[in-house]
Amino acid sequence: MYDLVIRNGKVVDGSGLPAFKADVAVMGNRIVKIGQVPEAAREEINAEGKIVAPGFIDPHTHFDAQLLWDGCAKPALAHGVTTIVPGNCSLSLAPLKAKHRMKLVGMFNQIEEMPLKAFKEGVVWDWETFSEYITRIRKGLAINVAPLVGHSVIRLWVMNEAATERTATDAEIAEMQSVLRECLDAGAAGLSTSYVDMDEKLLPVPSRYADAREVEALASVLGEYGRVLQIVPEFYDSDLTIARLDQLAELSLKYNIPTTFSPLFMNADNVDAVNRVMARVDEQFARGARVWPQVQTRPIDISFSFSVPSLLFMRFPTWYKIMRFGTPDEISAFFSDSENRVKLIAEAAPLQGLWPTLVLRHVETDANQKYVGKTLKEIAELRNTTPVEAMMDLSVEEGLEAHFLSAGMGHNDDAKVAGLLNHPRVHIGASDGGAHILSFSTYGDTGYLFSHFVRDLNLMTVESAVKKITSDTAAIWGIPERGMLKEGMIADIAVFDPSTIARGEEKFVNDVPGDGHRYVRDSHGVDTVIVGGGIAWSEAKGYQDARGEVLPGVREMVAA
Amino acid sequence: MPVEQLSRVRKSILPQVGDDWSHIASRELPDLSEKDAIASLQSWNLHVYMRAAARMGTGSNNILPSDVIFVEPPLAHG
Amino acid sequence: MSGAVISRVELAAAHDGDAELNVTLQYENGGQTLVALDEYAVRVLMDSCGASTPDGLIGQGWHHVRDALEAASNRFVNSNSTQQ
Ligand SMILES: [Zn+2]
């Protein structure tokens, strides 16, 4: 008698090899058989018509705060993600002295847009060390967590205010090394640093005040453990990105560590630049270095409201001028004046293709809620007007707090992005899950990978897409016994329907402590998600077992 | 592949302790006048101006210890 | 003395969902670099170049870009208020 059997599905085992028909049997937290399983089980899942794959691993997230009140990292788990890596971009919530808490809350507010109130109402501050933080999040953990420790935070712990004033002394560097060792001993999966991020005052984060000597000293500690170094390079400039990846390559070779940098975007105007970056990545891999670029699957959307000037309008002088110089009342009056409207409409005409596609994503009044999620074309039809006029009318009705979204404005050349996603030396990731929560949804990138690049465009096979976000990720990050469906491996499994899997529509929900909001996307086409042999989420019953662990350490579970 | 066989990329340095524009200019571009050398360096390193280096250094020295500083213009490609 | 000038401007999507302006600078050796400016920096740049449209920026010298970036960065230095 097995604990769990998934029957009749097509197994995509994470190796990249072709899918095959088989049953998968689980005992305790491990896969014990893949093939024909005539024996009964305590729990059975019928996966007819579905794919049975290893659970997905998301290597670039900022779920650090959310894990304090939500051990499922919702909605990541429901999308089939069974392991997340928080603590990216030089920021983690530990180690953290009590006196630095409010500074770090400010930094998380800047990076994640996590409101102050959520920390006040959702968090009991009962940790300082990394080990105490791990103990804290382990309670009720349903998703696996491979946490990075942030360089900025280690720097703050050791140097206090001087962390954003100067380079470190030899003694301070030695202390940072021993703090990093403690974090790695307590379960950190590696170290993150950033050359781009800003703190709560929009000034450089502490890690940017470190010289190369300090980074190398920390990398040498990572070498003792064979753990990962993640960085955010100046991704907007290919020469800078290449200089950073060269630095990473030297550290990787000298200390035998895997390194990864994120993000890397592919836009129409930077194709040559990305090709140069990838050529350098290839050369460094040829030397034996590990310098994994992370590429996200989803395109970049632009959002705006008329309460803040947006460069989207900078080619339309009348629009831009009123956005720049008008008070909210003046803008509303301007939009309501019939003569101005004629001028505005004429000026907007060159982008006739764009306006109908804009989506209304947020309004304040109840009366207009019915339009949220609809395009301006749809709204214009319902209101018997034109898209541009609907945009102005809604803005006036909402006191300028009507928010619009222009989808797929960046990282949007499908063929070229697919070329990157398929590249053997590209790491699929960089979702930023749990960050930017008030601006857009950072969830569902795996659904988008399968719906868009695999199903709709046929630019990737389902086997290679699965491999990229499971066994490749586990191998890059040194996460043992996960990322593949094989007898003896730990049972982290995603069962999904290849004909319907997708990221859901973006929606604004109220599920952040302290009455806070965020943008999310529900999962679509995911049937069941198994973590450590337990059903963590199913479409039928929602969130269930909490068997998440802190990785890469493996704790043996006693079979039920 | 030994490091010498890597293809040529744009040349950069990492700042040394106490470096400012004029230090780097005299060290890396000794053949130019200080004024021209600093102007060249700044024109090649606009990323340094994309954030303030508050609380660090004085006056116009906005270079952070973690910065990459290019000592030549971008290479002409293709 | 460097004579880099703005050779191209293009609207782009910043990774945080805001629109930004990508400004390409062309150097005397034919090399190019791309600098992204936020709305504030673009405003300063247009004013200092006396440009009324983005295309009016083309041909302007690199130091306008430097000064616009610096002004945009420095606006945060003396603000003590923590964002909330
Ligand atoms: Zn990040």
A314 and C42 Cβ atoms separated by less than 8 Å: yes
- Which chain B residues touch A243 with a CB distance below 8 Å? 9-10, 12, 68
Q: Which residues of C touch A106 (CB under 8 A)?
A: 82-83
Phi, psi of C38 (to 5 degrees): -80, 180
The reported pLDDT for the residue numbered A438 is 82
- Residue A62 alpha carbon to ligand 1 centre in Å: 6
Closest CA to A167 of A214, A203, A204: A214
pLDDT(A116) > 50: yes
Domain residue ranges of chain B, discontinuous segments joined by +: 10-70
Mention the CATH class of domain A56-299+411-443: alpha beta
Cβ-based neighbours of C11, under 8 Å, separated by 6 or more: A311, A312, A314, A315, C19, C20, C21, C22, C54
Q: What is the predicted pLDDT for the residue at B3?
A: 75
Sequential DSSP letters for A64-81 = TTGGGT-TTTTTTGGGTE
pLDDT band at C3 (very low <50, low <70, confident <90, very high): confident
Q: What is the CATH class of A1-55+470-503+526-546?
A: mainly beta
Q: Does the ipTM surpass 0.90?
A: yes
Burial A350-360 (b: 16+ CB within 10 A, else e): eeeeebbebbb
A interface residues, C as partner, C-beta within 8 Å: 106, 109-110, 115-116, 200-203, 235-237, 239, 263, 265, 267, 269-270, 273, 300-304, 309-312, 314-315, 317, 324, 409-411, 436, 439-440
> What local confidence, expressed as pLDDT, does residue C42 receive?
93
Lookup: tokens for A349? 């005409």
Q: Each residue of A276-287: pLDDT tens digit? A: 999 999 999 999
Q: What is the mean pLDDT of chain A?
A: 94
Number of residues assigned to chain A: 560
Which 8-state DSSP code applies to residue B23?
H
The C-alpha atoms of residue A50 and residue A61 are separated, in whole angstroms, by 28
pLDDT tens profile A335-380: 999 999 999 999 999 888 899 999 999 999 999 999 999 999 999 9
CA of A60 to the centre of ligand 1 (A): 6
Residue C80's pLDDT band, with cuts at 50, 70 and 90, is: very low
Residue A275's CB: how many other CB atoms inside 10 A? Answer: 16
What element of type H or E holds A190?
strand A190-194
Structure tokens belonging to residue A526: 């995911």
User: How does residue A16 score in pLDDT terms, banded at 50, 70 and 90?
Assistant: very high
Confidence band for C79, pLDDT divided at 50, 70 and 90: low
pLDDT band at A555 (very low <50, low <70, confident <90, very high): very low
Per residue in A19-34, pLDDT tens?
A: 999 999 999 999 999 9
Q: Do you find a cis peptide bond into A86, omega within 30 degrees of 0? A: no
pLDDT tens per residue, range A214-263: 999 999 999 999 999 999 999 989 999 999 999 999 999 999 999 999 99
C-alpha A156 to ligand 1 mean position (Å): 19
Alpha carbon of residue A426 to chain centroid: 16
Is B68 at the interface with chain A, CB within 8 A? yes
Tell me how far apart the alpha carbons of residues A465 and C25 are, in angstroms, rounded to a whole number.
38
Quote the CA–CA distance of B36 and A155 in Å, as a whole number: 37
Interatomic CA distance for residues A23 and A10, integer angstroms:
8
Whole-number pLDDT of residue A157: 98
- Res. A128: pLDDT tops 90: yes
Nearest-CA distance A307 → chain C (Å): 13
Domain ranges in chain A are: 1-55+470-503+526-546, 56-299+411-443, 302-408
Task: Give residue C78's pLDDT.
Answer: 63
pTM above 0.90, yes or no: yes
DSSP-assigned letters across all residues of A130-176: HHHHHHHHHTT--SEE-PEEEHHHHHHHHHGGGGGTSPPPHHHHHHH
